Amino acid sequence: MKKGKKLYEGKAKIIYATNDKNLVIQYFKDDATAFNNQKKTTIEGKGVLNNRISEHILSNLSEVGIKNHLVKRINMREQLVKLVDIIPIEFIVRNIATGSLTKRLGIEEGTVLERPLIEYCLKDDKLGDPIISREHILTFNWLNEIQLDWIDENLSRLNDFLLGMFRGVRIKLVDFKVEFGFTHESEKNQIILADEISPDTCRLWDTLTDKKLDKDRFRKDLGDLIPAYTEVAKRLGILHEQSNVSVVNVTRLSSVKRKKK
């Protein structure tokens, strides 16, 4: 598959055209951002880990009938994915209270919610990705009622699946954020899961210690982000490296080879 021009660059990924109008290449960057890009840096190896973890999760979701944009992983940093028009809404599912939920509502950190909470945020960095209601979505025609009901149903299925997957490797799924989009294929206007599912988009705590294994290590200046992401990958059975260093060394080696070319 031939890589074409850059179509879009976000905080953590770049999208490139291909010679197939319905497919694009998604490149995972090493950039780490938080608080609507107010805090940012580069963490070598992060993109490699997110690529592997997201591929593993999305592949497993396909096997249980949850449609998503992944076609295949191409290399350490790139995936071939279906081209979609992203719906301008972030869909958040919360199982345990933390982050903005505790700040907005004064709920104690770590409170296990009686049932999963679905929240919606408008994707707009200039506005600070404000939280919105179901009525906003329907009133402004971002989705119709049937589409929104379908997404909510699939969010529940997705949450059940991820809870089980992570519980099996001794990790609590605290919350996660996902995006959906409309495909460009013959099944026009079909909605599928898009973007990524990784420690960048999920809050993951060790079951026994509540150690954070996600991007909160960057948000809260806890350090050791690469070891935490590597731990998630190893527990999922994706990586078999003997140390965290090997992931970064492979990244460096790939970079050196590219420069020589």
Condensed to tens digits (0 to 9), the pLDDT of residues 163-191 reads 999 999 999 999 999 999 999 876 667 99
Whether 253 has a pLDDT exceeding 50, the answer reads no
Separation CA 75–CA 35 (nearest Å): 30
Q: What is the mean pLDDT of residues 127-156?
A: 97
pLDDT of amino acid 186: 66
Whether 255 has a pLDDT exceeding 60, the answer reads no
- Domains 3-84+225-244 and 85-206 in one fold: no
The answer to whether 148 and 138 are in contact (CB under 8 A) is yes
Condensed to tens digits (0 to 9), the pLDDT of residues 96-135 reads 999 999 999 999 999 999 999 999 999 998 999 999 999 9
Q: Exposed, middle or buried, 34 (CB in 10 Å: 0-12/13-18/19+)?
A: middle
Model confidence at 37, in pLDDT bands (50, 70, 90)? confident
The answer to whether 182 and 191 are in contact (CB under 8 A) is yes
How do the domains of the chain map onto residue ranges? Answer: 3-84+225-244, 85-206
Separation CA 192–CA 189 (nearest Å): 9
pLDDT of amino acid 187: 60
Q: What is the mean pLDDT of residues 46-72?
A: 97
- Total Cβ atoms within 10 A of residue 244: 19
Condensed to tens digits (0 to 9), the pLDDT of residues 234-248 reads 999 997 644 344 454
What are the E-state strand segments in the chain? Answer: 3-9, 13-18, 23-28, 31-34, 39-42, 70-73, 78-82, 84-86, 89-96, 112-122, 131-132, 171-183, 191-194, 202-206
HSE at residue 86, side-chain half, CA atoms within 13 A, is 15
Query: 3-84+225-244, which class in CATH?
Result: alpha beta
User: Tokens 């799924």 appear where?
Assistant: 173
The answer to whether 235 and 169 are in contact (CB under 8 A) is yes
Judge if pTM exceeds 0.75.
yes
pLDDT of amino acid 61: 97
| CATH architecture of the domain with residue range 85-206 | 2-Layer Sandwich (3.30)
Model confidence at 232, in pLDDT bands (50, 70, 90)? very high
The answer to whether 255 and 45 are in contact (CB under 8 A) is no
